[in-house]
Amino acid sequence: MALNYADKISFSETIAEFMKQNRKELEKAGFMVEPRIGEQNDKNQEYVNQDAKQEKMKAEVVKQTQVAVNALNDAYSYASTNVDAMVGVLGKNTPLAKRLRKLREQMHHDAKKE
Give 48-77 pLDDT, tens digit per residue.
Answer: 999 999 999 999 999 999 999 999 999 999
Please choose, from the candidates 2, 6, 1, 19, the residue with its C-alpha nearest in 3D space to the C-alpha of residue 47.
6
DSSP letter string over 67-78? Answer: HHHHHHHHHHHH
Q: In terms of residue numbers, what domain contains 74?
A: 40-114
Q: Is the pLDDT of residue 114 over 70?
A: no
Find out whether 10 and 47 touch, Cβ atoms under 8 Å: no
Q: How many domains does the chain have?
A: 1
pTM of the full predicted structure? Answer: 0.64
Amino acid at 95: P
The answer as to whether 105 is a domain residue is: yes
The answer as to whether 49 is a domain residue is: yes
The answer as to whether 114 is a domain residue is: yes
Find out whether 67 and 75 touch, Cβ atoms under 8 Å: no
pLDDT digits (tens, 9 = 90+) for 12-28: 999 999 999 999 999 99
SS3 percent helix, strand, coil of the chain, rounded to 5, is: 90, 0, 10
